[in-house]
Chain A
């Protein structure tokens, strides 16, 4: 066989005796143009919609189009996320898009650390005292976190965020102040078996069956605290409940971040009582009122239908339809004639439905979204007999759970000394803009700003760092996603200065992560830094 001679031109093209190789070129051109045209055409409605919206400048159009391309309407977005998650799984990634893949294939996520347990406990002591002054008792329930106590399920080398994260020392600090506490973590997050029994694989929430276990623990505790009030009722026995499961239906919150190929799927679970129930459930923000059986008022049927978009449906909301600022249930057939106020996070969704079978009046307030008044005002107005706060460690990131929209704090910027305000430009990843304030020992401060502008395309994040220049170390840090800070909203960071705060303490504002190669450009606009202490101690 005659071997043809090949040579390559400086473009790297192969020639055969002077003739160019056309077929591969045509294949590449055709495939590439098809790819580009497909996505251009698929996103054309987005582009047209953005162009049709009134915009004032190129940069205005830019930010709108950028937002549009980042939205769920981007062509084949869900499929691309799924593909990318599959590649991440294939390449052995165990920490991806802020999701941790545990050794048992379950997903969890990291928690922040470094919270001041003493300060947080003091805040809850104030809340307990206030409730008591209005004639109510108080109970704090530490809900579990989706990681075994020892952290053995974590990939080797990943820091143990575990139960100790933001709740480190908190339960002990509460107990030292005489606050009644139930810690469910040792029972519900004890080891691998408990995690697998109690949690969804792809969601950060527990299963309703785990909430039921917590409910029984709480009821046993209340029975000991209030002898004779709580009787042995059908709702306390598992055999009086029917457990349902819809397999392969649920892609949880963590799974949505990484896609089905990375995460797998869960079966959606819910429980319904086998005994008769009749009660009402009111959600003021939805202006909805329902009356009927437990299943009628609490279980949202629309989540039980097979099919539908897993990426855009939060099936965990099968209980009560999801988080609400305020819900109220009334059960005239409930055995305990007490008013219960729950200060809740989303773990409470199934849990409060169980309480609704026990107490005649159950109100549940979510401080993150309840802004009609403060929690204090609600307690003062409604005079509950018992206030239960039940938080999972992840909720400790929310400042709302530690100031309860106290009016004294909302208006802190008007009553407290503003240490500085203005715009801070010239942020880079390595060159910070120092914001010096006269920080004092163990002071509570809040940094707020109204907008981040001038973002460059290779970073969406900016950071605020409390830095001790005398000891050359970062005291605490907060990263902000500039996509969520705009003129209509606010970004805030509440932080505490350490026990001994020297004159070298400064607040630094960075583009990206401190030390990163994020380029100059971002501007913190409308910055205010002020002190928000509510402390009475000298």
Chain B
């Protein structure tokens, strides 16, 4: 189930939270595990068994890797192969078989068209399992308690969309964690902020995006509006989910790493990837880029190749579509450019040039998101033409005028919320008196609570389709 659903907010969450705090401390982790398994089964009953098998297999491999003195590398490779095979089968097999059958029609009879359904969250829990195995292979102690390991993989706040946890961060908190009033309040605030971002911003912006990306012809204005709307939608959707996950974790005493840090305030593409989906970026850095040698390789060509491989993998991770690969490679190329050219370090004393480069970064990121969102390469090509007033498009049209006026309020709020303005204001307020700080804090809490009520009203409204009344 989604965090932004009525069933989660008013059925699963209150029961899980209430029982957790009523149970003795020793039972807390078991209750969270049971609730997390129920949470997964709720959203994905078909592949619940697959998740359990993955947990059991990787737990066993972890113990084996720690204990065995023999063919450790072979066991490690086998474990990785099994995990990536699962990911490949669930996520990529259908596209590969379809592609092969199209490319080699003579062999069509020999290549079956598979129709696997991708198990929910397989990308996330597979990567989390793999990071666990790699860390053990590198010397970390394996988890002896199966329920603790299972909770690491299945913990519901981060199971479906991350952030991708590291076992080294999670394990100490399994044994000892403390929930303070401030920590709990922080968790609530993060959760509400994420909920409001998702429902009041992302879901509304998705209406512009869907309109733009479902058309066969767009004006320049509408193409740009659609691209910007998707860039904001994706940020608020994903970061909103991460906020909710982090907030939920805090409510149960867990502290997760941050996953987003105002990425649209980035000074460079490199900086962007320190701020966007941080857990994925660091995963690829630690488990792919560094083992390849990272930037400590002999030649710049080797470094560039390593970076492109990492970004190719990042693109593939997102899905079995050439658009994701193109998106990943575009980011890779831009990062290679920055590494080789020394930008933006060379712009440090040039404020105007830095500002121009920031604009370029924002533009490049948004354009890459357009690629990411497109159904296929032909749509990428068409959309690019519309952005540049090619292919017969007008500057503006009635659709653009309507969409702009319809969503301008949401758009402006989204643009403000995407920048670290609130953080800046909080820092300014911190230098004021205690009363001011308290007043600002209380106002912010009240605002998020009221927005949460509005978010719930939006959830109810989205289910409100009185068909029967609309009969003619």
Contact = CB atoms under 8 A, between A and B. Distances in A.
A24 interface: yes
Interface residues of A, number: 95
Interface stretch (A267-275, A485-493, A516-524): A516-524
A511 to B, nearest CB: 12
Given A11-B182, A36-B13, A516-B214, A426 B471 contact: no
A448 interface: no
A276 B404 CA distance: 57
Contacts of B14: 36-37, 40
A104 B92 CA distance: 53
B341 interface: no
Contacts of B399: 157
A16 B449 CA distance: 25
A481 B462 CA distance: 12
A278 interface: no
B92 to A, nearest CB: 12
Contact of B405 (A3, A77, A157, A458): A157
Interface stretch (B2-10, B58-66, B69-77): B2-10
B266 to A, nearest CB: 21
A435 interface: no
Interface in B202-245: 206, 210, 213-214, 216
B457 A513 contact: no
Nearest to B200: A87
Nearest to A40: B14
A538 interface: no
Interface string A497-519: 00000000000000001111100
A13 interface: yes
A126 interface: no
B9 A39 contact: yes
Nearest to A1: B433
B165 interface: no
A23 interface: yes
Contact of A157 (B7, B38, B182, B401): B401
A92 B406 contact: yes
B467 interface: yes
A410 interface: no
A398 interface: yes
Contacts of B400: 157
A20 interface: yes
A520 B460 contact: no
B371 interface: no
Contacts of A16: 434
Given A36-B13, A426-B117, A473-B216, A24 B445 contact: yes
A377 interface: no
B49 interface: no
Given A4-B433, A14-B437, A28 B188 contact: yes
Nearest to A95: B406
Given A3-B433, A58-B42, A395-B472, A28 B464 contact: no
Can you list the 4 inter-chain pairs with the closest CB atoms, starting with the nearest?
A: A157-B402, A25-B185, A84-B457, A157-B401
Given A40-B10, A158-B402, 4 more contacts: A81-B460, A156-B398, A157-B400, A457-B2
